[in-house]
Structure 1
Amino acid sequence: MVARFEDLAVWKRSARLSAELYKSLRELKDFGFRDQITRAGLSIPSNIAESYERESAKEMTNFLNYAKGSAGELRTQLYIGMDIGYIEREAGMQWIKEAEEISRMLHGLMQTIRTQKT
C-alpha cells in the first residue's frame, strides 16, 4: 500500500478536479452555489489526505467513505448546475465522469485497506 497520500492516483485526480472547479466557477455570482460545489470538490482530496494520517484501518476507511460521499454530492451539484445554466454541459459531463471514476477508485482502495489491515 502507498505510504503517502500525495502518491495516490485517486488523490492526484481529485485534487486536480477540485482545482478545475475553483478555476472554472470563480466568476459565478451565485456565491452560495459556488461555495457549496467547490466545498464538495475540495472535500474529496481533503478526506483522502486525512484518511492517510489515521492509524487504524477503520478510521482510514471512514474518511475514504466520506470522500466517496462527497463525490456523490459533487455529482448531484454538477447535474443541477448544468440544469440551471451555471455549468456548460460538456464540462459538467466530464466532471461527472471523473467524479464517478474517483468513487470507483475510492471503493477499490477501501477494499484493499480492509483486506490488508485485517
Structure 2
Amino acid sequence: MSTILVPAGFSWITLSLVSVATLLQWQALAVGKARRKAGVTYPRPYADKAEQEASNDALIFNCLQRAHQNTLENIPVIVITTLIGALRYPVSAALACGLWSFARVVYTKGYASGDPKRVDAT
C-alpha cells in the first residue's frame, strides 16, 4: 500500500480553490441579474447586436456573460497548475491562485462597465 505525502501548507490550496468557486458563483449571479434586467430569455446566450445597440442593459449583460465565459475557459488551466505547483510550493501556489481570483473580480467589474476596450488583457 502506498501513501500520499501532502506538503506542509497544502491546506492553503483548499482556500485558494474555494476562492475560484466563489468567483464563479458571484459571476453567475451577476450574469443572471443582468440577463433579467436586459430581458434576454433562455436559451439565448447573448443579446443580439440590435438589442445591444438599443439597450445599455443588453450591452452590460453581454459583457458580463463574456467575462464569465472567459473565466470558465481558464479554470482548467488554473486548477491544474495550482495543484501541480502545490506539490512543491503549496503556499506560493495558493497565493497565486487567490491573486488570480481577485484579479478576475477586478477584470469582471471593469468589463461589466460596458466598455470592454477599457480592460485590456488580464
TM-score, with structure 1 as normaliser = 0.40
Structure 1 or 2, whichever has the larger Rg, is: 2
Greater relative CO (CA pairs within 8 A, separation 6+): 2
TM-score, with structure 2 as normaliser = 0.39
Give the structure with the higher percent helix. 1
